[in-house]
Amino acid sequence: MPPISILIKPSSSKCNLRCKYCFYNSLSEKRDTKDYGFMNEETITNLVKNILEYADDHCVFAFQGGEPTLIGLDFYRKVIELQKRYNHKGVRIENTIQTNGILIDEEWAKFFYENKFLIGVSLDGSKDINDGSRLDVNEKSTFNRVMNSIKLLDKYKVNYNILCVVSSYVARHIGKVYSFYKRNGFKFLQFMPCLDENEESKFYSLDNKKYGKFLKNLFDLWYEDFVKGERIDIRFFSNLVQMAAGYRSETCGMSGKCHCYFVVEGDGSIYPCDFYVTDNWLLGNVNNEKFKDIIISEKAEKFVYDSIYVDDKCRACDYFNLCRGGCRRWREPFEDVRPKLNKLCPAFKEFFKYADERIYELSLVLKR
């Protein structure tokens, strides 16, 4: 059985920030129940037991939100206790958490280090850029608080990466953002494009011209550092090099089709993907159903099957082996019950035409 990754939302859609482009806030508002509340002890116990009963070799517990630290540190202490209690098969367990960093203090940082958590910290660059879209519930700056939290992670030698949402403003200033990350020694970066989620996010979202230019500019900066031996891991580019070398992508959005990696909401409800935690894609509940039964359910199989179709134009593209059509979310709404071409297709074509020779050049280094 391949490694299993479970994305858990212990605080449901609760958050102490009001990011202008937040997709999960927009998504949760469309459900009958916006907020499922904090995950209780019965649910996390059933969840851990269920996962470790299903897993064979390797399992990732990934905590997101909302803001997953809002539930408090005692919840995660309980998670570690339960993992130790129910890991009868000796499964290799990894714990990760994606956080805005606001609540991290010495106690949190020490806990993360002692329990080998990998932390994803959301930070969109320098203060002026980050605070343009990432403010707290009182419309106050978050930058200094996040940077102080990162200093604590450094102090306790906690492994972390930085997640940047690529808004139109970030795209225009990627040189400044990249330089800021370099100055602060951030070596592991993820960039997630901002698409239209609501009326407010349209101000921040990208069109193909902006995103294509962003990818080319960022790649030039990354490639220049790479050949100088100053290597920074940008997840998208690293995955492209791996794919060019003949290896599988680490991210499902670059694999060419969906798979159900299970998202568990605060009440134990299970969904097939973080972008589809919606009423129509509810698969079951961890409190009364087994993962082994849900993965073969008709609805779960339909979710995967619907993503498999590839448009003939896409399949004939010179860059299909690197693009694979893109994430299902970027190919909606469906047309005649089939996913359309990636809405960012022109941007990716422009980028691959510009960078594919260098991508394949770097893949030869990986093959050695």
Tokens for 132, please give them.
């343009």
Contact between 102 and 151 (Cβ < 8 Å): no
With cut-offs at 50, 70 and 90, classify the pLDDT of residue 1. low
Local structure of 141: helix, strand or coil: strand
pLDDT in tens, 94-139: 999 999 999 999 999 999 999 999 999 999 999 999 999 999 999 9
Local structure of 136: helix, strand or coil: strand
pLDDT in tens, 356-365: 999 999 998 7
With cut-offs at 50, 70 and 90, classify the pLDDT of residue 195. confident
Residue 38 amino acid letter? F
* Residues with catalytic function: 274
Q: Per-residue pLDDT for 252 more than 80?
A: no
How far apart are alpha carbons 58 and 55 in whole angstroms? 7
Tell me, what DSSP letter sits at residue 163?
E
Contact between 177 and 150 (Cβ < 8 Å): no
pTM given for the model: 0.93
Mean pLDDT of 268-278: 92
190 - beta bridge partners? 163
- DSSP codes joined into one string, 12-58: TT--SB--TT-HHHHHHTTSS-S------HHHHHHHHHHHHHH-SSE
The residue length of the chain stands at: 368
- Superfamily of structural domain 4-308: Aldolase class I (3.20.20.70)
How far apart are alpha carbons 303 and 121 in whole angstroms? 30
With cut-offs at 50, 70 and 90, classify the pLDDT of residue 333. confident
Q: Per-residue pLDDT for 144 more than 60?
A: yes
